[in-house]
């Protein structure tokens, strides 16, 4: 049995903009979201997530980014879609040594990382497993395709394996003029 789910993507939104005013105002709704980098027309997906409340989840991502909980990259590499080399890796066992001792540089890198990312989201009502199926469908597509931008992609696993549910078809309605590299309008998983 094939279940079809339609996504109406909203975005791009920014945590930080040139005038330091964020334009991100996520809904208090369940859904899936994308962290992307790229030029005006083509977006390269760096991370795919699902959330019971998109607003709360993106807030958590922002706090973890600024607080040293996530890997940080050279913002120039993010914006140029080059191979990513981390400038900071969180290490819970030695966080005092790296994070606090180099806080001024790490916090600047964290801010620049937030400024480099563009966020998209789509509201997906229903049970958690539906969002996880959609998330897994997109992650699987990005993980299985060979492409030169694979180092930008940060998900290391899928939430739900294809054999754990019936087949899903995700139909994406992208904002006008926006293309996601390596993501088709329709994906079957």
Q: How far is CA 159 from CA 24, 41, 100, 116, 132, in A?
A: 26, 29, 33, 26, 6
- Residue 178 CA to residue 185 CA, distance in Å, equals 12
Residue 42 has a pLDDT of 80
Using the predicted structure, report yes or no on whether residue 188 has a pLDDT greater than 60: yes
Q: Assign 155 a pLDDT band (cuts: 50, 70, 90).
A: confident
Please state the domain extents for the chain: 2-188
Using the predicted structure, report yes or no on whether residue 151 has a pLDDT greater than 60: yes
Sequence length of the chain is 189
Structure tokens at 101: 């001792």
> Which long-range contacts (C-beta less than 8 Å, at least 24 apart) are formed by 72-80?
72/106, 72/109, 72/110, 72/113, 73/109, 73/113, 74/109, 75/109, 75/112, 75/113, 75/115, 75/116, 78/37, 78/46, 78/113, 78/116, 78/117, 78/152, 79/37, 79/116
Q: How far is CA 2 from CA 134, 168, 170, in A?
A: 13, 5, 10
Using the predicted structure, report yes or no on whether residue 162 has a pLDDT greater than 70: no
β-pairing, 2-8 with 86-88?
A: unpaired
């Amino acid at each position: 049995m094939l279940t079809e789910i339609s996504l109406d993507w909203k975005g791009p939104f920014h945590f930080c903009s040139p005038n330091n005013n964020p334009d991100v105002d996520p809904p208090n709704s369940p859904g899936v979201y994308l962290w992307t980098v790229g030029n005006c027309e083509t977006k390269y997906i760096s991370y795919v997530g699902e959330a019971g409340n998109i607003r709360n989840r993106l807030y958590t991502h922002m706090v973890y980014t600024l607080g040293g909980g996530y890997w940080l990259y050279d913002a120039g590499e993010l914006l140029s879609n080059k191979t990513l080399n981390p400038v900071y890796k969180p290490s819970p066992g030695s966080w005092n040594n790296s994070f606090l001792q180099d806080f001024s540089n790490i916090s600047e890198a964290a801010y620049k990382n937030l400024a480099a990312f563009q966020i998209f989201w789509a509201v997906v009502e229903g049970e958690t497993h539906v969002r996880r199926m959609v998330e897994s469908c997109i992650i699987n597509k990005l993980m299985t395709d060979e492409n030169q931008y694979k180092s930008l992609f940060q998900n290391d696993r899928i939430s739900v394996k294809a054999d754990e549910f019936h087949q899903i078809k995700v139909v994406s309605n992208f904002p006008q003029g926006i293309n996601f590299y390596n993501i088709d309008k329709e994906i079957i998983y």
